[in-house]
Amino acid sequence: MAEPAWNAAYDNLPKRVVVTLFVVVALLVTLAPFFILFGNSLRPSDEFMSENAGLWPSQLTFEYYADVLSTNGSTFRILLNSIIVTTATTIVSVTTGCLLAYGLARLRLPFRLSTVIGLTFLVVRFYPKIAIAIPYFVLMRDFGLRDTYAAVVIAHVSMTLPVVVWLMLSFFEDFPRQIEQSAMMDGCGLLRRFFSIVLPLTTPAIATAALLTAFFSWNEFLFASAVGPLNAKTLPVAISAFITDKGTVWGQMSAMGTIIVLPVMVLALIAQRYLVRGLTAGAVKG
């Protein structure tokens, strides 16, 4: 097997069995809630009333999806909102974040200003977001942006920028200077170097940053609910409104839950390598 010999978990056969069992149980516990969610999104409504309905529905129905996705329903609009907000956030955050990171990596500023700016960005990660939700709401009201896409997008961009900047900064700093220098010899200006040489070579990092940003924006609840309660309502805000405990709405709730969860799951499985790199950036090296 491929496990390293120093791993105490694989010393002998009985241990191996116990360890494997433990990991299998962990996998089951991880996956079971997803299984229940998907099952409930396809379960006929009368089965929700019964105590012995079985973990997976005996018959499948697609009525909740039809309901949620029908173009004249309000949920479809919410789905569109989510897509718009996520796309806009990802584009703006990755673009402005890359530019800032490149500036920080290449510009020699006095008083170690680059380090200061970099660290200031990091601070955003370290205070409770709830502290600014309400003032942000007041600010957006004063700007006349309350309940618009812009209000939600700006909030999401400002919260994802630190991650994008720190991710890209380490890539730009590690970027081989010789490549840029030889381009400079050929008379390539800074803008040409950046857009036609540096950026194309850092696409894996950009993909990682985009993935993390998109996931964050797609999932974010607090700011979306504070500044986009009606017109700019996103899926997480909508699902949090199912606060009634009646079994009757479980079908719709599960269908909406599946729509929130499934794209992220699929993307996470496909782009696992990028995702892990992004999630662990900084923590392990630093």
Partner 1 sequence: MQRAIWASADWLEERIGERGILAAFMVPAIVIVVVAQFYPLFYSLYISFVDWTLTRSMEPGGFVGLANYAKMGTDGVLQQTWGRTIWFALASTGASTILGFVLAYLTIGEGRTLRIARTILILPMVIAPVAVGTIWRMMLSARVGPINEVLRGIGLPAPDWLGDPTLAMISIVIIDVWEWTPFVFVIFAAALSSLPSEVLKAAEVDGATSWQILKMVILPMLAPVGLLVVMFRLLDALLTLDIVFTTTFGGPGFATHTLSFWIYQQGLRYFNISYSAAISWATLIGCMVMVGALLIWRARISRWQGA
Residues 182-211 interacting with partner 1 (rule: CB under 8 A): 189-192
| Distance between CA atoms of residues 87 and 83, nearest Å | 6
Region of 59 (left: φ > 0; alpha: ψ -120 to 50; beta: rest) is beta
The reply to whether 264 sits near partner 1 by the rule CB under 8 A is yes
Choice between 185 and 191, CB closer to partner 1: 191
Map residues 81-120 to x or -, x wherever contact with partner 1 holds by CB under 8 A. Answer: -----------x---xx-xx-xxx-xx---------x---
Residue identified by tokens 């806009």 is: 88
Map residues 127-166 to x or -, x wherever contact with partner 1 holds by CB under 8 A. Answer: xxxxxxxxxxxxx--------------xx-xxx-xx--x-
The reply to whether 171 sits near partner 1 by the rule CB under 8 A is no
Map residues 17-46 to x or -, x wherever contact with partner 1 holds by CB under 8 A. Answer: --x--xx--xx-xxxxxx-xx--x------
Piece of 67-75, 121-129, 170-178, 197-205 that binds partner 1 (CB under 8 A): 121-129
| Distance between CA atoms of residues 218 and 152, nearest Å | 11
Residues 47-66 interacting with partner 1 (rule: CB under 8 A): 48-53, 55
Choice between 70 and 141, CB closer to partner 1: 141
Residue identified by tokens 């949090």 is: 240
CB of 195 to partner 1, least distance (A): 8
Choice between 34 and 76, CB closer to partner 1: 34
* Neighbour-count burial for 104-119, b at 16+ CB within 10 Å, e otherwise: bbbeeeeeeebeeebe
Q: What is the CA radius of gyration of the chain?
A: 24
Residues 216-235 interacting with partner 1 (rule: CB under 8 A): 218-219, 221-222, 225-226, 235
Q: How many residues does the chain have?
A: 286
For residue 17, count other CB atoms closer than 10 A to its CB. Answer: 10
Terminal alpha carbon distance of the chain? 32
